[in-house]
Structure 1
Amino acid sequence: MVMWVLLPLLLLAAVPESLGVVQKLLENADFPGDDVLHIYSPDVHHCQLACTQHQSCLFFTFLRPDWDKDDRKFYCFLKYTDSGVPSQVSERNGATSGFSMSKPSVCLSSIYQDVDFPGSDYRKLPSSSYDECQKVCTRDPGCRLFSFTTGSFPFAADRKTCFLKYSWSVPIPPSITTQMGLVSGFSQSLPKAKGTIKEECKEDILANSDFPGNDFEQVPAGSPQHCQILCSIHPRCTHFSFSQSRTWYQMSCFLKHKQYFNKDESVRKEGIYSGLRIRNCKPLTVWGRRFEDVDFYGADSSQAFVDNADICEDKCTADPRCQFYTYVLPSYPDLTPELRNKCHLKRVMTLPRPAKVVSVRDVVSGFSLRSCRD
């Protein structure tokens, strides 16, 4: 008990001014409150990586598989305070707490027995073992995580099946809106198209046309071209529709899947742009485009006053933690002058994240090992 009374003082002494370098984990310890987000993680290492990538997380609490107070096993609570120090520390069986890291490894090599990652499937195939399933996932450029059912799985039809799953590997702003006087864009250090294909893709996007139905995911996008790139990245997407209309779904990219789809299925609809995913060609560099009068809202990691949008983009590109930005032009219509010439640097998590994590007997789950060899 004495240790828990002294622990807050030990934490104050342990957290350096630079933050992010405290890597020691506190077993059976909880940092109550200070939550900014909760996600699912299969283990504390994944939770700590998520905290490190999140734009504001400084410390976290993970509820382990032996947590028995309620049904929140595998919950990862990302936390923040202005001081960088948890407001409280308490003893809690089944919980592990810690801090974000300064130089994390993104290799997720652990295998999780009797754990399922439900959802996010884009392909399933027979497999003799979880090891083979992981190798298939690692070879498939679209796969970031997987679940495998063993020969003892209760449903015979699904035994020894490998489920390949996707999680976004590119940064997607949490919200995109139109706003006069703002300029947004991406870091120019984002990965460019690789390979030997030299032919530029034809956008072939239909204006004022909708592909109704077959939606499986809706994400923000800054333009029809941005939406097409997101569709082309997602292994399940076959076609898309993008809305610029001033409705609740403004600046929304609707990713769609249909095995046999024909563009003739489109219907006329004002303000909607639609198209197919692009294949076997070099995609246009949407990451290099500027989005005029567009706000990439939220996910701010830092701000600075600069003279123009070029300098803001350069600051984002030079900062390894910045993925995208929004710059407030001098012409911004708000009457508050303090908002103008402000460069907002932003980032989101891009590590593979299961949509959910649950305990299920005779299921084995894990991640692609591509990041372990990069």
Structure 2
Amino acid sequence: MKELNSLNDQELESFFDSFDQILTDITDVFWTISKNIPAAEDAIKSLKRLGKKVVVVCNNTTVPLDSHHKKFLSAGFDVDKDEIVTPTQILISYLKKISLTKEIYVLGMPALKEALAGAGFKLVQIGPEPLHETLAEWARAGVINGDNIGAVVVDADLNLTYTNLQRAADLLGDPEVVFVAGALDQRLPIGQDRAAISPGFFCKILEDMTGRVPLQLAKPGRLLGEYVEGKYKIEDSSRVLFIGDSIAEDMEFASKYKKLLVLGGVTGKEALEKWTFPEEYKPDYYVDNWKTVHDLICRIFENKLNRSFGGGRRDGNVNTTAMQLQKVFCRITEDMSFSTKCGYKKLLVLSGLTKESLDRWIYPEEYKPDYYIDSLKDIHDLLLSLNQH
């Protein structure tokens, strides 16, 4: 394990050159339940400017995908909806793969149920639960006919009742009923020194009661990794960096990838110093916060720019040429990457750049313009010339 900001410039460049694809957690990495993590949005933008592909891997099924995306946009993150993966998507993909036609009994939030219904699945409809005064009354009310039920799904359910949990246990007595679960966290931080009871505890009750083990669709389950690698066509796992804040879930899930642990969420530095987890969960690198990642990217690119363009005049502690070229770097990576993503032809107006900068190309290869021109005036002159002919 190495602290990322302890690396020298050469080691840092090697680190950032060692991966093309980033998979990253959300909670306690981008934001907590009550606030955003400072500088996380700047770090994601910087990583994308380096040409890295970023996919956000989230264990949260309690809100729709559109709501996840809107929250990213409102917080200033450069994340497309297609770059967000939740267990809901994996669940729908899996149920379609096994051609499930029977009804699904869901212990979960409305967003999960609506997504399943929207994908064409039939859900068991259970009305509001009355209060029960006796065990006999409760036992009669909890009986459910499972003849047309093919799956039990367990995830976060803030309206979970004893009766609903008992029905799930009864249904799982049939080995033909599929048992799947989302996140199996047992604690969810919800504030200073406060944690919520999470679905892992309720799943454990069902496991102990039925002897069944659920197929896990969230981190660290294998189906999530298979889904992500298939959807985003990841062929070389050694070129993937996973960023997370949890050792037991994120770092376990990332065992086949490069691993960067962001401290300050559910993991403090003392957990690294007094390691109690399997060796394969050890992160390759760790960092205190996202601002450090952003600052390190700026540092290595200033070094690259200085090497390529011979440095510049220093005014106090400011390298004027490097500052100007950082602006050029942002302009090229934003304009050319946008054009590449949209499939447009690319014309770069040098406007302050030199042809030498094209010969010493330091940006991602796919950002190369198809054509370049010195200034917009040259376009005007060319058009006049064509008209004269």
The two structures share one fold, judged by TM-score above 0.5: no
Please give the range of the TM-score, normalised by the shorter of the 2 chains.
under 0.3
- In terms of Rg, which structure is larger? 2
More helix by share: 2
Q: TM-score, normalised by structure 2?
A: 0.20
